[in-house]
Amino acid sequence: MEDPGTRESSLSDGASDDDMPQSLPDESSNGGSIRKGCDPFAQTQRSKLQHRRARINQQINKEMRMRAGAENLFRATTNNKVKETVALELSFVNSNLQLLKEELEELNSNMEVYQTDSEAVKVPMIPLGLKETKDVDFTIPIQDFICEHYGEDSSQYDREIKELMELRQAMRTPSRNQAGLELLMEYYNQLYYVDQRFFSAHRNLGVHFHWYDSLTGVPSSQRALAFEKGSVLFNIGALYTQIGARQDRCATADIDAAIDAFQRAAGAFNYLKENFSNAPSLDMSAPSLSMLVRLMLAQVQECVFERIALASRSARFSSQLRLAQEAARVSDVYLLVQQTMTQPLMKDYVPFSWASMVQVKSEHFRALSHYYAAAALCEHTLSSKEEEGDEEAEEAFLGFYINAPGGQSAPADSAGSRKKAKAW
């Protein structure tokens, strides 16, 4: 039977990775696969960053639980002295939370660790960190469901349940390559079958899935398996952003790999936006996912410009104008992303470095557009055949503008062009 996740999208990347998995896929005796994630104790720059994120997420969770308890006590007590003490404690907890969120924002602003090790100077791409989760063991609920609903001895399935638990543990630390993507997709596919066979609409297994917001570290918990599936799919998109960001982009093949990765990331976030609703965390809300889709597509457009610039090393008039057009298109899409990031719900949520980088890129590519347009006009010379040169220039200029300038009509022939030029 074909896995449902395989039908939804064909996930591939083809990039190598410095975070190697502990074990490659190994076929077991029953035909299944046992996969492992990265070594959680590996001291790569990316793993260190992820470990710091996990530690901060746990601290945020602790502080928020303390704040919730203090707020409940403040509302319940009528003793003014106790209220003053609790109010002081609340101010201290809120201060700690603010410091932790600022520290997490600083980690989210760290783009260099996800970039390529190449010495070539390239404008960094914006990657997305993985969502962290807590340990969940639904062995006993599944065993009870097998006994009560199917009337079978659950001990017969202990090995399969154990493999499912090991698969969930492994997918928390996926390697940044094809093996990591396959690991996440395999668990996502298994969740489809678990949902069909063990999560009945008439009975809840009582399993709570805990996930942390990718940007703020705020914990969320739901008993719905859809939350678990959506979070895994979010991590698939996030892993693609990291794969796209680490491409060298000095050769056509690397640029194509980056384009493919960012397109697939956009596809994962868009699928999540259209098929998963009522997300308890802000990173999986519709406004946030729309922003991420636009950001990924803007980075795709930037890669397209780099591919055209790499292939267009000549100073031909048409080539320069095409580069000007592509640079203007990149500027426009980044401007749209910037406008999305400044919306009320997103303004205080998106890391400041992201918004700054998007604004810089919009202005940078607008400047590049003006530069290439000026270079084309300043360096353009007619070919040996004057008529041929005029036709090439006219065709290039007609494609240069999206809308024809108002109040003027194009000359019918070259004589009319010369006459209008002399009049000006």
- Alpha carbon 352 to chain centroid distance? 16
d(CA 324, CA 309): 10
Q: What is the DSSP track for 265-323?
A: HHHHHHHHHHH--S-SSGGGSHHHHHHHHHHHHHHHHHHHHHHHHHH--S--HHHHHHH
- Predicted TM-score (pTM) of the model is 0.74
d(CA 376, CA 207): 64
Q: Which among 240, 235, 173 is positioned nearest to 13, based on CA atoms? A: 240
Q: At what angle do helices 352-379 and 286-311 cross, to 10 degrees?
A: 30
Contact partners, residue 357, CB within 8 Å, separation at least 6: 111, 124, 126
One digit per residue, pLDDT tens: the chain, 424 residues? Answer: 344 443 343 333 333 444 444 443 343 434 444 566 555 545 556 666 666 767 776 777 777 778 888 778 777 888 888 777 878 787 877 777 777 777 777 666 666 655 666 656 578 899 998 999 989 888 888 888 889 888 888 888 899 999 999 999 999 989 888 899 999 999 999 999 988 888 776 677 788 899 999 888 888 999 888 999 999 999 999 999 999 998 988 889 999 999 999 999 999 999 999 998 888 889 999 999 999 999 999 999 999 999 999 887 766 777 888 899 999 999 999 999 999 999 988 988 998 889 999 999 999 999 999 999 888 888 765 555 545 555 656 666 655 555 555 556 666 666 666 666 555 5
d(CA 173, CA 216): 19
> 31's torsion region: left (phi>0), alpha (psi -120 to 50) or beta?
left
pLDDT of residue 237: 97
158 with 166: CB under 8 angstroms? no
185 with 22: CB under 8 angstroms? no
pLDDT of residue 400: 59
d(CA 243, CA 174): 12
pLDDT of residue 126: 92
Q: What is the largest CA-CA distance in the chain?
A: 95
262 with 306: CB under 8 angstroms? no
- Alpha carbon 168 to chain centroid distance? 21
pLDDT of residue 383: 52
